[in-house]
Amino acid sequence: MQKTSDKSAPPQETDPIDLEIDLRNFLLMLWRRKLLILSVMMIVVALVFFFVNTVQPRYTAKSLVLIESRYDPGPELRALISNMRVDTTLVISEAEVLKSRGLAAKVIERLDLMNDPEFNPKLKSVTRKSISDILNQPGGMSASSGTRATNFKTLSVYDTQNAVIRDDTGLVIDRFLKHLTARPIPGSFVLQVEFTSNDAAKSALIANAVVDIYIEQRLEKKFQATQKLSGWLDERLEDLREQLRESEAAVENFRSDNNLVSGARTEVTVQQLSELNSQLVIAQSKKAEAQARLDQVRDWIENPGSIASTSEASNSRIIQNLKIKEADILNQIAEMSARYGDKHPTMINARSELKDTRKKISQELENVVEKLKGELKVANARVGELEKSINNVEQTRLTENQANIELRELRRESESNQIIFDTFLKTYKKADEREKLEEPDARVISYATTPRHASYPNKPLFLSLSAIASFFLGIALAMLLEKLDNAYRTSSQIEKETGYPCFGVIPRAKKLRRKHPVADFILSKPSSNVAEAVRTLRMTLNLRSKAPDQKTKIVTITSSLPDEGKTTLSSWLGRTSARSGEKVLIIDCDLRRPRLHEAFGKKPDGTIVEFLTGKSPLEQVVYKDKASGADVLFARAVPSNALDLISKERMKNLIIASRERYDLVILDTPASLAVSDARLLASLSDQTLFAVSWDRTPREVVNAGVKQFADFGYERLSLVLTNVDIKRHSKYGYGDAVYYYSRYKKHYTD
């Protein structure tokens, strides 16, 4: 007989149907392990329930703070105050400020948390009032921050005679910060402040104290910034005022030192220069006129004929008179020249008189020349004086212009100082409006209220999570147990791993009476599923015979280990076949631990040992089972030579002879892993049934027992699952005969 599977075949790709079957098997595994999963869930949930009801509850109170900027100080202050910008980074930074040690220290000091055992566990002999009683006093949670702080300080009442051991302040702050959380709400400028405490009212009180002190700190920060800015502006204004004084004094001193009168002095100099220039022009004109007159007179002296055309001659009465006299003399000479000769005394006298007249004219002209020279000299002096005055005025004007340049520089510096001073003065006046800057850039939009439920442990959350976690833990344990469960449960499993066919699956017999032999069950319950399974096994043996017209007669029944049901199977198979009309012989071949007689409930007088040793003939040791009609050869324990007896020729001859006389010969052999009797007898048999206890015998043990037959090439081996729990087996959803035994159990009687 060939093996039904090839172990060396390569693994095939996973079929979608296999995945569906795996899912079905997984669900079936959950169903059959439901008690384990439910137990795990109940235990875990019970432990969590015990935990959440015994652990110290913690309460979390929440306050909301909005970071904002209501005041725009203007461009002047905006450049000086850099903390007016509100953005996400600032909100995150403010969250860290809320969790700072400095703020925590102020809260601890205000609420006297150094004397609170929750934060300072080293305190001894402390008697505490009920927090709720104190907070229910007038004011309570609705009171102001100062009132709440005053109320909270009464939360701890100490015995003055007992020493109070105080923890280090830093450790108290560390414990305080562990309970404090501040985080920004995404997409907003709102900070959520949470504080967790063992007391609900205390958690709300501390959360509100944190935000109150935070607002106060921001307000104080604004005061400090304003004061710092005001102080700096005061100092700067004083410096600017002094600098402005110095610059204005420098302008005035310079103006005084340089005899500069703003506006009038410059105009006087310009007017004086203009007048001098005008006078110079007039003087130069007069000088030119005097020079012209002088040149004219000199020209007349050189050319007397032109004297009449000279202005000086026309303006001088003496010269005019002399000119008239000269003209008269010339007329006389002309008249007398006709009558007298040149040498006439009258002519001579006339000529002499003409000469004298002309001499007088010349002298008079010389006087005019001298006069004109004097006038020209005066004109030259006047021009020189005027030019000198103009030069002096020009020099003065140049000096004044240079001084004015320096004066303008000093005035510009003074004006710049004035502008700077005015700007800082305006800024100072704005900074002095403290009622605007004294508003903090944050406000509390929601004060914490006393929480009604504990934040830790969150009982619904813990219980639901524990139920879910325990469910998956139960599944994990179930899967682990499935993996650790190293036994066969189905015919397909055992066929797949061993490579040999499984001929039968025998259910476990129920309601076995202790005083009744196990072999009687098959006769007392002929309609049971056990009897049906045994009959099916017999039919399978006949159908799997070597030839269609030849039934299987010699059957060896063995197992890997003792107590796997092989003896029970031998008795049931023999009796069932005998009751079916077959002639059956059952031989107990286990000469070390014989159990067949116990299955039949008999104490035999003769056994196969006597037959094999030749002490008794076969007829004397064969027991006739009256209930079924089967012949039985019982055995007794042989201490040392069991294999020798089995291997005797008499045993072989017995089997050969039984083949002719019986329709079925069953050889009940010992476990194959213990001894080699089964392998020896299997070689004389038509078929070997290898019993495997369902969900009990390890797979490695079964494979080792089967391997002993495969090692010497034995192929007429088949397996039988025994002691199958039908109820449990049906939960696995296997589609073998036992599954249908459970589905159609109403058709069978136990």
For 216-274, the pLDDT digits (tens) are 888 887 777 777 777 777 777 777 777 777 777 777 777 677 666 554 455 566 677 77
What pLDDT does residue 412 have?
A: 72
The Cα 75–Cα 162 span in angstroms is 62
Q: Which range, 164-168, 173-177, 323-327, has the best average confidence (pLDDT)? A: 173-177
The answer, yes or no, to whether residue 306 has pLDDT greater than 60, is: no
Does residue 534 have a pLDDT over 90? Answer: yes
DSSP secondary structure code for residue 82 in this structure: -
- Segment 347-362 mean pLDDT: 76
**pLDDT tens per residue, range 118-168:** 888 776 434 444 444 544 555 444 455 555 545 444 444 433 333 344 446
pLDDT of residue 592 exceeding 80, the answer is: yes
**For the CA atoms of the chain, what is the radius of gyration?**
72
pLDDT at 392: 78
Looking at the chain, the whole-number percentage of residues with pLDDT higher than 70 is: 75
The pLDDT of residue 4 is above 60: no
Mean pLDDT of 487-515: 84
- Of 404 and 390, more confident: 390
On average, the pLDDT of the chain sits at 78
Which range is least confidently modeled, 119-123, 623-627, 727-731?
A: 727-731
pLDDT for 188 equals 86
Residue 656 pLDDT greater than 80, yes or no: yes
How deeply is 486 buried, as exposed, middle or buried, from its count of CB atoms within 10 A (0-12, 13-18, 19+)?
exposed
Alpha carbon distance 535, 748 (integer Å): 14
Predicted confidence (pLDDT) at residue 533 exceeds the cutoff of 80: yes
pLDDT of residue 289: 74
Q: CA 282, CA 127: separation in Å to the nearest integer?
A: 120
- In the prediction, which pLDDT does 157 show? 40
Cross-strand bridge partners of residue 157: 127
Query: What's the residue count for the chain?
Result: 750
- How is residue 498 written in tokens? 């061993």
Element (DSSP H or E) covering residue 197: strand 190-197
User: Which pLDDT score, from 0 to 100, does residue 670 have?
Assistant: 93
Residues 6 or more apart whose Cβ sits within 8 Å of residue 729: 489, 694, 738, 739, 742
Output 34 or 263, whichever has higher pLDDT.
34
Vertex 166 angle, CA 162 and 172, to 5°? 150
**pLDDT in the model for residue 12:** 43
Q: d(Cα 680, Cα 682) in Å, to the nearest integer?
A: 5
Query: Which residue did the predictor score with more confidence, 601 or 281?
Result: 601
| pLDDT given for residue 268 in this prediction | 60
- pLDDT band at residue 645, thresholds of 50, 70 and 90? confident
What number is the average pLDDT over the span 678-703? 92
CA distance 563 to 598: 13
**Residue pLDDT, tens place only, 60-117:** 999 999 987 554 555 554 554 444 444 678 788 889 999 999 999 999 999 988 888 8
> Which is more confidently placed, 16 or 648?
648
Q: What pLDDT, on a 0 to 100 scale, did the predictor assign at position 620?
A: 92
Q: Is residue 64 packed enough to be buried (19+ CB in 10 Å), middle (13-18) or exposed (0-12)?
A: middle
Amino acid, single-letter form, for residue 266: T
Please give the backbone phi and psi of residue 144, each rounded to the nearest 5 degrees, phi first.
Answer: -70, 175
pLDDT at position 196, please? 94
Dist CA 507 CA 509 (whole Å): 6
Q: State the Cα–Cα distance between residues 239 and 363, nearest whole angstrom.
A: 86
The pLDDT score that the predictor gives to residue 529 is 87
When pLDDT is cut at 50, 70 and 90, the band that residue 721 belongs to is: very high
